[in-house]
Amino acid sequence: MIRTSGLTKSFGQILAVDGIDLDVREGDIYGFLGANGSGKTTTVRMLLGLVLASSGEIEVLGKRMPKQAKIVLPRVGALVEGPGAYPHLSGRRNLALSDAAGVGGSRSDRTVRIDAVLDQVGLAGVDNRPVKAYSLGMRQRLGLASALLRKPELLILDEPTNGLDPQGIREIRDLLLALHAGGTTVFLSSHLLAEVEQLCTRVGVLDRGRLVLQDQLDILTAPTGNSVVRTPDVDRAHALLDGRVLGKDGDRLTVAGTDAATLNVLLVREGIRVSELGPDRRTLEQVVLEAATNSGSDRIPAVTPSRPDQPAATFGVSG
């Protein structure tokens, strides 16, 4: 669905994107991760033809970009750097203008599609309110509604849950999962590692413009071959298992081996209370930090959402 080869972008002496090879496959929910300033948004803008690459190649839906943008964009929905809208118009009117700029269709058909996407993103009750009265989260929902107007094959989303409360984040997650189940491939950038871990099937990690990791999420977070024991009697357990303990973190021990049944019998026999026992898996946070460390960066700073005064672009699927 998305492939790049040696994709590079320089702004003067600043190398923003450094020769990345993206591989987003049909049916993926692809999480594009990285620190603020790592080049994520620049990459997304190049994928959509909003910024021209300095070098390298881009294919979206099997077509060269930006050369074949008129063929590609009608099949793509995107939300980049926050939603753009006419603030004095209602959400419904903004969607009608966005739809009219695309494939159009009859007025009744347009009304049905707008009703459907407003309901999907939870704006059906406020669709006639002017956008200037919308909260940041409501504007984000409106941008997502615009991206969904024509049932795109591919969704490209930049921080789609920015400004949403926990309930809103869960609703958007459920919506994206439903769209994916219906055949939509999703490419999203996000700084919310927990959300990506719950949502995505494949991830890529960008660090200072370089793609330092790209793989299936279930492979990256697969069992390590060791076991995790949590116990309030951690010191006694550590002494009992001396020689097999690979690490200690509070009440958590990492123990060599995967024979949980035998390990449980040994601990219970000695009267050691066990609150958790199972295979050791790396979290996505651990994977991302390790990838950044191996790339030469000593840390990945917290990613902050785009400021409201930054340039914003919201796309439906029109060319």
- pLDDT tier at 102 (50, 70, 90 boundaries)? low
Same domain, 274 and 177: no
Residues 6+ apart with CB under 8 A from 19: 6, 7, 8, 56, 210
pLDDT tens digits for range 159-170: 888 778 888 888
Parallel, antiparallel or unpaired: strands 154-158 and 76-80: parallel
Residues 6+ apart with CB under 8 A from 173: 161, 195, 198, 199
Same domain, 21 and 133: yes
Residue 308 has pLDDT above 80, yes or no: no
Q: What is the pLDDT of residue 19?
A: 97
Residue 103 has pLDDT above 70, yes or no: no
Same domain, 275 and 311: no
pLDDT tens digits for range 233-288: 999 999 999 889 999 999 999 999 989 999 999 999 999 999 999 999 988 888 88
- Look at 209 and 108; give whichever has higher pLDDT: 209
- Report the alpha-carbon distance of residue 282 to residue 259 in Å, rounded: 18
Same domain, 188 and 301: yes
Residue 5 has pLDDT above 90, yes or no: yes
Contacts of 92-99 with CB under 8 Å at 24 or more apart are 92/118, 92/127, 92/128, 94/131, 94/142, 94/146, 95/142, 95/145, 95/146, 95/149, 98/146, 98/149, 98/314, 98/316, 98/318, 99/149, 99/150, 99/316
- Look at 125 and 152; give whichever has higher pLDDT: 152
For residue 4, the SS3 value is strand
* CATH code for the domain of 258: 3.30.70
Same domain, 244 and 186: no
- Report the alpha-carbon distance of residue 216 to residue 200 in Å, rounded: 9
Q: What is the pLDDT of residue 305?
A: 34
Residue 197 has pLDDT above 50, yes or no: yes
Residue 312 has pLDDT above 60, yes or no: no
Residue 69 has pLDDT above 60, yes or no: yes
Residue 310 has pLDDT above 50, yes or no: no
Residue 296 has pLDDT above 90, yes or no: no
- Report the alpha-carbon distance of residue 184 to residue 125 in Å, rounded: 26
Q: What is the pLDDT of residue 110?
A: 83
Residue 104 has pLDDT above 60, yes or no: no
pLDDT mean across residues, the chain: 87
- pLDDT tier at 319 (50, 70, 90 boundaries)? very low
Same domain, 21 and 130: yes
138 backbone dihedrals φ, ψ, rounded to 5°: -65, -40
| Lowest-pLDDT range of 16-25, 147-156, 162-171, 197-206 | 162-171
The count of structural domains within the chain is 2
Same domain, 241 and 202: no
- Report the alpha-carbon distance of residue 119 to residue 121 in Å, rounded: 6
Residue 306 has pLDDT above 90, yes or no: no
Residue 316 has pLDDT above 60, yes or no: no
Q: What is the pLDDT of residue 212?
A: 94
In a domain, 216, yes or no: yes
Q: What is the pLDDT of residue 35?
A: 81
Q: What is the pLDDT of residue 162?
A: 78
Q: How far is CA 2 from CA 21, 43, 145, in A?
A: 10, 12, 22
Parallel, antiparallel or unpaired: strands 202-207 and 55-60: unpaired
Amino acid identity, position 248: K
- Owning domain of residue 107: 2-220+296-315
In a domain, 288, yes or no: no
In a domain, 92, yes or no: yes
In a domain, 289, yes or no: no
Amino acid identity, position 82: G
Same domain, 74 and 169: yes
Q: What is the mean pLDDT of residues 181-204?
A: 91
Contact between 33 and 43 under an 8 Å Cβ cutoff? The reply is no
Residue 64 has pLDDT above 60, yes or no: yes
* CATH code for the domain of 162: 3.40.50.300
Nearest CA among 28, 15, 59, 21 for reference residue 176 = 28
In a domain, 87, yes or no: yes
Residue 10 has pLDDT above 50, yes or no: yes
For residue 33, the SS3 value is strand
Same domain, 260 and 309: no
Same domain, 213 and 235: no
Contact between 87 and 308 under an 8 Å Cβ cutoff? The reply is no
- Report the alpha-carbon distance of residue 205 to residue 8 in Å, rounded: 16
Cis peptide bond prior to 87, omega within 30° of 0: no
Q: What is the mean pLDDT of residues 43-69?
A: 96
Specify the pTM.
0.81
In a domain, 32, yes or no: yes
Same domain, 152 and 240: no
Same domain, 175 and 237: no
Q: What is the mean pLDDT of residues 91-96?
A: 91
In a domain, 291, yes or no: no
